Structure 1
Amino acid sequence: MKIKILSVLPMLFLSMTMHAQEGTLFGKVTDTNNHSLDLINVTIKGEPMGTSTNESGDYQLKLPANIPFKVVFSSVNHQLTERSVILKNGQKMELNVVLEPKTEELSQIDVEDKQVRKSTLQRLDPRLMSVIPEASGNFEAMIKTLPGVSSNNELSSQYSVRGGSFDENLVYVNGIEIYRPFLIRSGQQEGLSFINSEMVSSVLFSAGGFDARYGDKMSSALDIKYKKPTEWGGAISASLFGGSLMIQGDSKSHRFRHISGVRYKSNRYVLNSLETQGDYDPRFLDVQTFIGYDITDKLEVSFLGNLAKNSYKFVPQDRVTSFGTIQQSLQLKMYFEGQEVDAFTTMTGALAFDYQASEQLKLSIIASAFSTDERETFDIQTQYWINQVDTELGSETLGDSVANLGVGTYLEHARNYLYATVMSAEHKGFYSGERNSIQWGVKAQQEHIEDNLREWQMNDSSGYSRPYTDSIVSVSYFFKAKNKLTTNRVSAYLQDTYTVPLFNGEFNITAGIRTSYWDYTQELLVSPRVNLAFKPDWEQDMVFKFSTGYYYQPAFYKEMRSRNGVLNQDIQSQKSLHLVLGTDYNFKAWGRPFKLVAETYYKKLEDLISYSVDNVRIIYSGKNDADGYAAGFDMKVNGEFVKGVDSWFSLSIMKTEEDIRDDSYITADDDGNQTVNYPGYIPRPSDQRVNVGVFFQDYFPGNPDYKMHLQINFGSGLPFGPPNSERYLATARMKSYQRVDLGFSKILKKPGKEYPKGHILHHVKDAWISAEVLNLMDRQNTISHEWVTDFQGQEYAVENSLTGRRVNVKLSVYF
Structure 2
Amino acid sequence: MKPVALLLTLFCLFAADGLRSQSLNALLSGSVSTAEGAGLSSVNVNLKGFPIGTTTDKNGKYTLQIPANRPLTVVFSMVGYQSQEKQLETKAGERIKLDIQLAESNENIEEVTIRQQRTQQNMSRIDPQFSQTIPDASSGAVEALIKTLPGVSTNNELSSQYSVRGGNYDENLVYVNDIEVYRPFLVRSGQQEGLSFINSDMVSSIEFSSGGFDAKYGDKMASVLDIRYRQPKEFAASASVSLLGGSVHVEDATKNQRLSFIGGARYKTNRYLLNSLDENGDYNPSFTDLQAYITYQLSESFDVSFLGNMAKNDYLFIPQTRTTTFGTWTQPLETKVYFEGQEKDHFNTQTGALAFNFHPNSQLNLKLIASAFQTKEEVNYDILGEYYLNELEQDWSTSGTGDSILNLGVGSFLNHARNKLDATVYSLTHKGAYDSEDHLLNWGFKFQREDITDKVNEWVMRDSTGYSLPYSDSEVLLYSSSFTNNQFSTWQASAHLQDTWAIDTESGNLYLTSGIRANYREYSNEFLVSPRVSVSYFPDWEKQFVFHLSGGRYVQPPFFKELKDRDGTIHPETKAQKSWQVVAGSEYLFQAWDRPFRFKSELYYKYFSQLTPYQINNVQIQYLADQQARGYATGLDLSIHGEFVSGVQSWASVSLLQTEENIVGDGHGWIPRPTDQFLTFSMFFQDYFPGNPTYKVHLAVFYGSRLPTGPPNGERYMDTFRMPPYRRVDLGISKTIISADSFRTKSAWMTKIKELSVSLEVLNLLGIKNTVSYFWVSSNYGDMFGVPNYLTERKLNLRLSMKF
Matching residue of 1:261: 264
Q: 2:440 aligns with which of 431, 437, 442?
A: 437
CA-CA distance at 1:708 after TM superposition:
0.9
2:673 pairs with 1:684? yes
Q: How does 1:55-134 map to 2 (within 5 A)?
A: 71=81, 82-84=102-104, 115-116=117-118, 118-134=120-136
SS at match of 2:299: coil
What per-residue deviation string (whole Å, max 9, x for no partner) do you get for residues 29-49 of structure 1?
Answer: 9989876999999xxxxxxxx
Structure 1 residues 687 and 31, CA, compared in 2 at 3 Å: closer, same or farther? closer
Structure 1 residues 733 and 79, CA, compared in 2 at 3 Å: closer, same or farther? farther
Structure 1 residues 754 and 40, CA, compared in 2 at 3 Å: closer, same or farther? farther
In 2, the alpha carbon distance for the partners of 1:807 and 1:785 equals 27
In 1, the alpha carbon distance for the partners of 2:706 and 2:78 equals 49
Residue type of the partner of 1:136? S
In 2, the alpha carbon distance for the partners of 1:786 and 1:306 equals 36
Structure 1 residues 288 and 38, CA, compared in 2 at 3 Å: closer, same or farther? farther
Q: 1:780 aligns with which of 733, 751, 769?
A: 769
In 2, the alpha carbon distance for the partners of 1:594 and 1:114 equals 22
Matching residue of 2:778: 789
In 2, the alpha carbon distance for the partners of 1:37 and 1:696 equals 13
Matching residue of 1:480: 483
Q: How does 1:126-525 map to 2 (within 5 A)?
A: 126-138=128-140, 139-525=142-528
Matching residue of 2:38: none
In 1, the alpha carbon distance for the partners of 2:610 and 2:466 equals 44
In 2, the alpha carbon distance for the partners of 1:709 and 1:566 equals 48
Preserved contact between residue 51 and residue 693 of structure 2 (Cα < 8 Å): no
* CA RMSD, 1 decimal: 2.5
Preserved contact between residue 449 and residue 491 of structure 2 (Cα < 8 Å): yes
Structure 1 residues 786 and 84, CA, compared in 2 at 3 Å: closer, same or farther? closer
2:750 pairs with 1:761? yes
In 2, the alpha carbon distance for the partners of 1:780 and 1:662 equals 39
CA-CA distance at 1:300 after TM superposition:
0.7
In 2, the alpha carbon distance for the partners of 1:32 and 1:551 equals 41
What per-residue deviation string (whole Å, max 9, x for no partner) do you get for residues 354-393 of structure 1?
Answer: 1112121011110000000000000000100011212224
TM-score scaled by length of structure 1: 0.86
Preserved contact between residue 76 and residue 83 of structure 2 (Cα < 8 Å): no
Structure 1 residues 32 and 774, CA, compared in 2 at 3 Å: closer, same or farther? closer
Matching residue of 1:708: 697
Preserved contact between residue 385 and residue 414 of structure 2 (Cα < 8 Å): yes
CA-CA distance at 1:751 after TM superposition:
2.3
In 1, the alpha carbon distance for the partners of 2:378 and 2:283 equals 17
Matching residue of 1:736: 725
Preserved contact between residue 36 and residue 57 of structure 1 (Cα < 8 Å): no
Structure 1 residues 363 and 537, CA, compared in 2 at 3 Å: closer, same or farther? same
2:736 pairs with 1:747? yes
Preserved contact between residue 390 and residue 407 of structure 2 (Cα < 8 Å): yes
Structure 1 residues 317 and 624, CA, compared in 2 at 3 Å: closer, same or farther? same
2:728 pairs with 1:725? no
Preserved contact between residue 754 and residue 762 of structure 1 (Cα < 8 Å): no
Residue type of the partner of 2:181? I
Matching residue of 2:68: none
Structure 1 residues 794 and 233, CA, compared in 2 at 3 Å: closer, same or farther? same
In 2, the alpha carbon distance for the partners of 1:579 and 1:769 equals 45
Residue type of the partner of 1:392? D
Preserved contact between residue 48 and residue 740 of structure 2 (Cα < 8 Å): no
Residue type of the partner of 2:434? Y
2:760 pairs with 1:771? yes
Matching residue of 2:22: none
CA-CA distance at 1:636 after TM superposition:
1.1
Matching residue of 2:542: 539
Residue type of the partner of 1:787? W
In 2, the alpha carbon distance for the partners of 1:417 and 1:114 equals 43
CA-CA distance at 1:631 after TM superposition:
0.2
2:792 pairs with 1:803? yes
The answer to which of 78-87 and 144-153 deviates more is 78-87
What per-residue deviation string (whole Å, max 9, x for no partner) do you get for residues 266-315 of structure 1?
Answer: 00000000010000000000000000010011111000000000000000
In 1, the alpha carbon distance for the partners of 2:84 and 2:780 equals 72
Preserved contact between residue 421 and residue 448 of structure 1 (Cα < 8 Å): yes
The answer to which of 527-536 and 754-763 deviates more is 754-763
In 2, the alpha carbon distance for the partners of 1:623 and 1:654 equals 27
Residue type of the partner of 1:122? S
2:658 pairs with 1:638? no
Structure 1 residues 591 and 271, CA, compared in 2 at 3 Å: closer, same or farther? same
CA-CA distance at 1:701 after TM superposition:
1.6
In 2, the alpha carbon distance for the partners of 1:499 and 1:406 equals 70
Alignment coverage as a number of residue pairs:
730
Q: 1:575 aligns with which of 578, 582, 592?
A: 578
Q: 1:604 aligns with which of 604, 607, 610?
A: 607
In 2, the alpha carbon distance for the partners of 1:595 and 1:151 equals 24
Preserved contact between residue 515 and residue 526 of structure 1 (Cα < 8 Å): yes
Structure 1 residues 753 and 58, CA, compared in 2 at 3 Å: closer, same or farther? farther
Preserved contact between residue 448 and residue 486 of structure 1 (Cα < 8 Å): yes
Residue type of the partner of 2:775? E
Preserved contact between residue 649 and residue 693 of structure 1 (Cα < 8 Å): yes
What per-residue deviation string (whole Å, max 9, x for no partner) do you get for residues 68-117 of structure 1?
Answer: xx646599x99775434668xxxx99xxxxxxxxxxxxxxxxx9977445
In 1, the alpha carbon distance for the partners of 2:543 and 2:77 equals 33
In 1, the alpha carbon distance for the partners of 2:137 and 2:44 equals 35
CA-CA distance at 1:584 after TM superposition:
1.6
Structure 1 residues 39 and 362, CA, compared in 2 at 3 Å: closer, same or farther? farther
In 2, the alpha carbon distance for the partners of 1:307 and 1:754 equals 40
What per-residue deviation string (whole Å, max 9, x for no partner) do you get for residues 427-463 of structure 1?
Answer: 1111000011101101111000001111110011001
SS at match of 2:265: strand
In 1, the alpha carbon distance for the partners of 2:119 and 2:785 equals 50
Structure 1 residues 356 and 788, CA, compared in 2 at 3 Å: closer, same or farther? same
Residue type of the partner of 2:676? D
In 2, the alpha carbon distance for the partners of 1:381 and 1:78 equals 72
Structure 1 residues 271 and 595, CA, compared in 2 at 3 Å: closer, same or farther? same
State the identity %. 48
SS at match of 2:628: strand
In 2, the alpha carbon distance for the partners of 1:396 and 1:542 equals 65
In 2, the alpha carbon distance for the partners of 1:395 and 1:755 equals 65
Structure 1 residues 501 and 762, CA, compared in 2 at 3 Å: closer, same or farther? same
What per-residue deviation string (whole Å, max 9, x for no partner) do you get for residues 135-163 of structure 1?
Answer: 11212111111100011000001111000
SS at match of 2:191: helix
Unaligned runs of 5+ in 2: 1-42, 56-73, 86-96
In 1, the alpha carbon distance for the partners of 2:451 and 2:99 equals 54
In 1, the alpha carbon distance for the partners of 2:52 and 2:83 equals 12
Preserved contact between residue 117 and residue 584 of structure 1 (Cα < 8 Å): no
CA-CA distance at 1:800 after TM superposition:
0.7
Preserved contact between residue 72 and residue 81 of structure 1 (Cα < 8 Å): no
2:560 pairs with 1:557? yes
